[in-house]
Amino acid sequence: MPFNDLTPRDESARAELEAVARRVIASGWYIFGPELEAFEREFAESVDCAHGVGVSSGTEAIQLALTALGVGPGDDVVTVANTAVPTVSAITAAGAQPVFADVDPETLLMDATKVAPRITPRTRAIVPVHLFGQAVDMDPIIDLARRRGIPILEDAAQAHGARFKGRPVGALGDACAWSFYPTKNLGALGDAGMVTTNDAAVAARLRRLRAYGQSSRYVHVEKGINSRLDEIQAAFLRAKLPRLSSANTRRREIAALYDRHLHGVTLPTRASERDHVFHLYVIRAARRDALQAALRDEGIGTLIHYPIPVHRQAAYVEHIDQAPFLAVTERAADEILSLPLYPELSDADVRRVADAVTRIAARA
């Protein structure tokens, strides 16, 4: 059983996606056209935001959003180290330095009490990561950021459709970065990203930054990059957006089935005021590597999100001195394991995985 399988998802919508592709081809408009404008509007509305700015990837969504928020060389950005490397590579691409805060030991998400000691006079942004599909506890982070005058950029690459106290992820900070990588809850048939915000000035600057800093054709008022969400991917995403809610409902059903049948492992805590969308179903096991190997022997694919915290990656070795601040992060990296979870997974498949995990864990 694979960890993930996109084939049945895209095959079920094949006729519609092919019609979408034909529509775009027939239009002769491939960049910055009506499909992108419509998707920006529709997706922004879905997360209660006034503005959506499409870009080429989630990584560049973070990079350009930081720049649009005024972050640059010499600035610090506080985030977590138990995240995908692109969260941090985007911070460095914006010219800033990542400062890592440890996470809550139960949820494994950003913890405001761990963020506060990491703030310095150089801190120009906080980037909470809504990891696994669950929203960060945002109220204390918002309170801290407002008191210190620091913008918040949400990283919602794994949290399409998630909510915090009834409010959509994506409208909780000053801006939010999204990835539409194919495996995401809302995934393109290629790479794509977006920034949502309720700040018109931030949105206007993002539109310049994604197009070489242009304010109008051939007029460049600042340095930007080429970061375009093309028409065909925007059209595919428009077709998929109406299915997001039902797909997330199925993800929750699968997670509930795992919850009922799994024994002998622990789970990150899920807060009742947060609507989890289960981009990933993560367990914790003391003998994680042995469990993963045994599941592989039974034909069950799993992954680790993430086995090496960013501060221990060779590319970011200059940040290894932050390790003493990250005890929870480092322990979690040794224990977490993601089980198969995608909407097309059958109940029988879920029970097979859960039974295998329970049986193997009992032997440990």
**At residue 18, does pLDDT exceed 90?**
yes
Residue 212 lies in a domain: yes
Residues 192 and 86 in one domain: yes
Residue 278 lies in a domain: yes
pLDDT at 75: 98
- pLDDT above 70 coverage of the chain, percent: 100
**At residue 11, does pLDDT exceed 90?**
no
pLDDT at 9: 83
Residues 82 and 182 in one domain: yes
- pLDDT above 90 coverage of the chain, percent: 97
At which of 242, 261, 286 does a domain end? 242
pLDDT at 71: 99
Assigned token pair, 164: 């915090």
Residues 174 and 268 in one domain: no
CA–CA separation, 319 and 335 (whole Å): 22
pLDDT at 10: 79
Residue 2 lies in a domain: no
At which of 242, 268, 296 does a domain end? 242
For the segment 21-65, what is each residue's pLDDT rounded down to a tens digit? Answer: 999 999 999 999 999 999 999 999 999 999 999 999 999 999 999
Residues 48 and 152 in one domain: yes
Mean pLDDT, rounded, for 13-17: 93
Residue 124 lies in a domain: yes
Residues 229 and 253 in one domain: no
Give the number of domains in the chain.
2
Residue 21 lies in a domain: yes
At which of 194, 225, 242 does a domain end? 242
Structural domain range at position 262: 244-363
Residues 208 and 91 in one domain: yes
Grade residue 222 by pLDDT with cuts at 50, 70 and 90: very high
For the segment 314-336, what is each residue's pLDDT rounded down to a tens digit? Answer: 999 999 999 999 999 999 999 99
Q: Any idea what DSSP says for residue 340?
A: P
Assigned token pair, 278: 């289960």
Q: What is the CATH number of the domain that holds 162?
A: 3.40.640.10
For the segment 57-86, what is each residue's pLDDT rounded down to a tens digit? Answer: 999 999 999 999 999 999 999 999 999 999
Assigned token pair, 49: 């935001």
Residues 93 and 123 in one domain: yes
Coil, strand or helix: which one is 45?
helix
pLDDT at 124: 99
For the segment 267-278, what is each residue's pLDDT rounded down to a tens digit? Answer: 999 998 999 999
- Residue 221 has a CB neighbour count (10 Å cut-off) of 11
Q: Are 345 and 254 in contact (CB under 8 A)?
A: yes
Average pLDDT value for the chain: 97
Residues 197 and 265 in one domain: no
CA–CA separation, 46 and 170 (whole Å): 10
Residues 187 and 279 in one domain: no
Task: Calculate helix-pair angle for 14-27, 231-240, nearest 10 degrees.
Answer: 150
**At residue 364, does pLDDT exceed 80?**
no
Mean pLDDT, rounded, for 337-348: 98
Residue by residue, DSSP assigns 237-287 as HHHHGGGHHHHHHHHHHHHHHHHHH--SSB-----TTEE---SSEEEE-TT
pLDDT at 277: 99
Residue 179 lies in a domain: yes
Grade residue 12 by pLDDT with cuts at 50, 70 and 90: confident
Residues 205 and 279 in one domain: no
Q: What is the CATH number of the domain that holds 272?
A: 3.90.1150.10
With tokens 């694979």, the residue in question is 2
Residues 181 and 166 in one domain: yes
Assigned token pair, 128: 């909470």
Residue 1 lies in a domain: no
* CA-to-CA separations, 259 to 256, 262, 320, 361, in angstroms, rounded: 5, 6, 36, 15
Cα 216 to its chain centre, rounded Å, is: 32
For the segment 102-125, what is each residue's pLDDT rounded down to a tens digit? Answer: 999 999 999 999 999 999 999 999
Residue 129 lies in a domain: yes
Mean pLDDT, rounded, for 94-105: 98
Q: Name the CA radius of gyration of the chain, rounded.
A: 20
Residues 329 and 272 in one domain: yes
pLDDT at 163: 98
Tell me the HSE value of 237 on the side-chain side, using a 13 A CA sphere: 35
For the segment 148-186, what is each residue's pLDDT rounded down to a tens digit? Answer: 999 999 999 999 999 999 999 999 999 999 999 999 999
Could you tell me where the beta strands, DSSP code E, fall in the chain?
Answer: 51-55, 76-79, 97-100, 123-126, 153-155, 163-164, 167-168, 175-179, 193-197, 214-216, 219-220, 274-275, 281-284, 336-339
pLDDT at 235: 99
